[in-house]
Amino acid sequence: MSAVICNTLLISNSSDYEVEVVRNLARGFTPQALRSMSHRRQIWVYEEEGRITATIALEDDTISGFFVAPDRQGRGIGTHLLRFMEDRARQKGLRFLRLSASLTAVGFYEKLGYRPFGDEGGDDVYGRVVPMRKQV
């Protein structure tokens, strides 16, 4: 899972973020960091032929750790995982789902009904993000 995330950051996000920002983000997704996160978040992986090709997490009403391997993007996996999260949110009685979108992913989320809300966040260390949400 860590390899999928770090590879995705490097390949998919490097056009919108400085290399140092990508490296800083990747440090937060080591196997040890992911194990620690799993105590606070529900984490799912998507597998194809025994290979992890995507991951997504939910903590309270917030989606995080959502990555699709670069060679699998554009095939509907991300849409499938977001719909899965929306179903889970409805089952939990949530009205909204929130996320912090990378600049790279804003258009993807907008196509699926997520809208920016509030001010952009982030910093020079981890890069700018766009807070988004959707009523589920």
What is the CA angle 46-50-55, rounded to 5? Answer: 20
Give Cα 91 distance to the centre of its chain: 21
pLDDT, residue 47, reads 97
Q: How far is CA 120 from CA 99, 103, 115, 129, 131, in A?
A: 12, 10, 12, 6, 6
**Fold topology of 2-135:** Aminopeptidase (3.40.630)
Q: What digits encode the pLDDT tens for the residues 75-125?
A: 999 999 999 999 999 999 999 999 999 999 999 999 999 999 987 776 778
Closest among 9, 98, 3 to 45, alpha carbons compared: 3
The C-alpha atoms of residue 25 and residue 15 are separated, in whole angstroms, by 15
Q: What digits encode the pLDDT tens for the residues 16-70?
A: 999 999 999 999 999 999 999 999 999 999 999 999 999 999 999 999 999 999 9
Q: Return mean pLDDT, the chain.
A: 94
All residues at 6 or more sequence positions from 132 whose CB lies less than 8 Å from its CB, including other chains:
98, 99, 100, 101, 106, 109, 110, 114, 115, 116, 117
